[in-house]
Amino acid sequence: MGAKMKKLHIPRHGRQPELLASAISLLLAVVIPGTSRADEAQLERGRYLVQISGCSDCHTPGYFLGQPDHTRFLGGSDVGFEIPGVGVFYGPNLTPDASGLGNWTADQIVAAIRTGATPEGRGLVPVMPWPNLSALSDEDAYAIAAYLQSLDPVSNEVPRPVAPGEPAPSFVMRVVPPGQ
């Protein structure tokens, strides 16, 4: 009825097929360590919470200049906020690069979100809405931390805070309380 098919002969050299299968299994374990639907759901929840919280507004370069640089998403602001009498502050890098949150644990990120203090004890600026975020559930706070730690690292040292009356190194927005 049909043409006769030749059987393809693949020579076996010792344990190569078994070694190849082991190597592939090891590679998959390294490339996708412990990935599960729960992990994916947590990252998606964290992405959602970061998005609706407006984190990219203050932490993505170019956002306040009308041209957000999505290649450096959450990599730190190039626009400072001046709070009269307090100083000028730049939204820091939230990516897992050493210039950002690269040395922070999930617990330290969650503590900063909830208490308004860095692991070194420095207070976050009043513009950061940590009092509102302090009410997040553990599940949501850790989802944000997991999402931030999953981002592509962006190497970007943002300017340090500037004392009142000192010159700022870049564009500054002034935050003035009502009635002033």
The answer as to whether 22 is a domain residue is: no
Give 34-73 pLDDT, tens digit per residue.
Answer: 445 669 999 999 999 999 999 999 999 999 999 999 999 9
What is the SS3 assignment for 106-126?
HHHHHHHHHHCECCCCCECCC
- Cα 11 to Cα 5, 7, 15, 20: the distances in Å are 18, 12, 11, 14
The answer as to whether 75 is a domain residue is: yes
Residue span of the structural domain in which 42 resides: 37-174
Query: What percent of the chain lies above the pLDDT cut of 70?
Result: 78
Q: Contact, 56 vs 48, CB < 8 A?
A: no
For residue 159, give the DSSP letter.
P
The answer as to whether 23 is a domain residue is: no
The answer as to whether 26 is a domain residue is: no
Please report the pLDDT score of residue 22 as a whole number: 40
Give 86-128 pLDDT, tens digit per residue.
Answer: 999 999 999 999 999 999 999 999 999 999 999 999 999 878 8
Q: How confident is the model at residue 28 (pLDDT cuts 50, 70, 90)?
A: very low
Q: Which CATH number characterizes residue 96's domain?
A: 1.10.760
More confident residue, 14 or 28: 14
Please report the pLDDT score of residue 37 as a whole number: 67
The answer as to whether 3 is a domain residue is: no
Please report the pLDDT score of residue 174 as a whole number: 87
Count of domains for the chain = 1
Please report the pLDDT score of residue 126 as a whole number: 76
The answer as to whether 28 is a domain residue is: no
What is the SS3 assignment for 41-86?
HHHHHHHHHHHHHCHHHHHCCCHHHCCCCHHHCCCCCCCEEEECCC
The answer as to whether 42 is a domain residue is: yes
The answer as to whether 13 is a domain residue is: no
> Of the given ranges (19-28, 67-76, 123-132, 135-144), which has the lowest mean pLDDT?
19-28
The model carries a pTM of: 0.75
Nearest to 81 by CA among 175, 160, 163, 152: 175
